[in-house]
Structure 1
Amino acid sequence: MRRIDAILIALGVFFLGGIVYYGFVSIGFDATQAGIWSQGLLVLGLIGWVLTYLFRVFTNNMTYHKQVKDYDDAFFAKQLEKMSPEEIAKLMENSDSENKVIRNE
């Protein structure tokens, strides 16, 4: 996300809060109650956003993690393309023997 995107989102939330406040005033709330309810909705929205962020963090579903995984996959695919069939067979044998050692431990 670019800096201007973050600024525009913040301004959008700010103006949305004002619109919600005036919406509450227009349906009959006094200024104090409208302020409390609009702030309450803002806090609930913020808590919801933080919860979605934490969910993405704990499930490793962040953009950085995806980029690293894609890079690793592309790197290993390129390395496999460079290897001869004999080298791949030798690598598979080594992998199988290591898996057997791990299972026996």
Structure 2
Amino acid sequence: MRRIDVIIVSLGIFVTGGIIYLVFQAIGFDGLSAGVWSQALLVVIVLGWTLSYLFRVANKDMTYNQQLKDYEDAVLQKRLEEMTPEELEKLQREIKEES
């Protein structure tokens, strides 16, 4: 995550907290109750977001992992394209022997 992304996410969280506070006040909560409930809701939202991130990390469902897999596939494809027909035949025989 770039520095500007962190700034944008932080501002987004700050603005979201303010909007939630205003919504609670519009519903009829007094200032103190609206502040407490908006903070509680914001904490739940941030914890949920964090847990979803940790879940993606644990499952290796991250952009970096996908880029690495795509790169490895491209390298293998290029190596296959550069092989001579004799080398391809030899490789196919080796694969059949291992199976």
Please say whether Structure 1 and Structure 2 have the same fold, judged by a TM-score greater than 0.5: yes
Q: Runs of at least 4 residues of structure 1 off by over 6 A? A: none
Question: Is there any run of 5+ residues in structure 2 with no aligned partner, and where?
Answer: none
Secondary structure of 1:71's partner?
A: helix
Deviations 1:45-88 (A, max 9, x none): 11221222122112221011011101000000000010012111
Q: Give the aligned partner of residue 98 of structure 1.
A: 98
Equivalent positions of 1:65-76 (< 5 A) are: 65-76=65-76
Percent identity between the aligned chains?
54
CA separation in 2, counterparts of 1:64 and 1:42?
A: 29
Between 1 and 2, higher relative CO (CA 8 Å, sep ≥ 6) is seen in 2
Match for 2:51: what amino acid? L
Count of residue pairs brought into register by the alignment: 99
CA separation in 2, counterparts of 1:12 and 1:59?
A: 27
Question: Is there any run of 5+ residues in structure 1 with no aligned partner, and where?
Answer: 100-105
Answering whether residue 77 of structure 2 is matched by residue 77 of structure 1, we say: yes
Match for 2:5: what amino acid? D
Secondary structure of 2:28's partner?
A: coil
Q: Give the aligned partner of residue 89 of structure 1.
A: 89
When the two structures are superposed, what TM-score results if normalisation uses the length of structure 2?
A: 0.88
Answering whether residue 33 of structure 2 is matched by residue 49 of structure 1, we say: no
CA separation in 2, counterparts of 1:60 and 1:7?
A: 26
When the two structures are superposed, what TM-score results if normalisation uses the length of structure 1?
A: 0.83
Residue 26 of structure 1 deviates from its aligned partner by 2.5
Q: Give the aligned partner of residue 102 of structure 1.
A: none
Residue 12 of structure 1 deviates from its aligned partner by 1.5
Residue 14 of structure 1 deviates from its aligned partner by 0.4
Q: What's the C-alpha RMSD, in Å, of the aligned pairs?
A: 1.5
